[in-house]
Every structure is written in structure tokens, then in C-alpha cells.
Amino acid sequence: MSEVTLFGLGASALVGIGLYGFIIQPEPLRRLLAFNLLGSGVFLLFGVIARRGAAAGMGGDPIPQALVITGIIVAFAGSALAVALLLRLHQADRGGAAPGGDAPPAGGGDGDRT
């Protein structure tokens, strides 16, 4: 078995591991972690396909490789938004107190809108 196929099988396993964690974990942050694992498995599959397309003196097909770079950045942006959302959700669960300590002003607190 070539090392490219080996990494391809590893990437398939990563997708499965990530998907399992995403379904099983009750905690939002752990789900986000698992989702990132799943995503990196998909990126790795792209990498394997790129490596198989090695030609013209290049180690791999540059198009899927460039798409993966774009994908990693977009995945990060999504993760950052998810972290912000789950921290806000956590605050709302605790009664709408925002970070910085002080309680929301009486009437029309921030907790109402979350």
C-alpha cells in the first residue's frame, strides 16, 4: 500500500472519529472540537487527491491544495463565530450576566434577546 493510500484511509477514519464525537458529546465546545476533526479529515482527503494528481514537476495538484488553504481559514472563521455563540449561550444560561461582572440594567436586560 502506498503512503498516499495510507493517509487516505487515515483521513476516512478521522471523518468517522469526528462525526462520532460530534453526535455523542453533550458539551458544545467538545462538539466544536469534534467538528473541526471531521473537517480536517475532509481537508486531508483533498490533500490525498491532490497528491495523486502530481504532475508537471509539482508534488501535487495545486488547485485542491489552494482550496484547502481557503477551507482552513473559513473553518477558523466558523469556529470563532461558534465559540462566541456558545460563550454567549453560556452567559444567557447563567441568567444574562455579561462578562465584566456587573448585572444587566433593570428592564430590557441583555438576556432577553439571546
Q: Which of residues 24-43 bind another protein (CB under 8 A)?
A: 24-27, 29-30, 32-34, 36-37, 40, 43
Nearer to another protein, 90 or 95 (CB): 90
Task: Please give the residues from 34 up to 93 whose contact with another protein meets the rule CB under 8 A.
Answer: 34, 36-37, 40, 43-45, 47-63, 65-70, 72-81, 83-88, 90
| DSSP-assigned letter for residue 74 | H
User: For the CA atoms of 40, 19, 29, 33, what is the dihedral angle to 10 degrees?
Assistant: -20
- We find the least distance from the C-beta atom of residue 7 to another protein, in angstroms, to be 6
Nearer to another protein, 5 or 95 (CB): 5
Instruction: Classify 56 as helix, strand or coil.
Output: coil
End-to-end CA separation in angstroms for the chain: 53
Q: How many C-beta atoms surround the C-beta of residue 11 within 10 A?
A: 20
Nearer to another protein, 66 or 95 (CB): 66
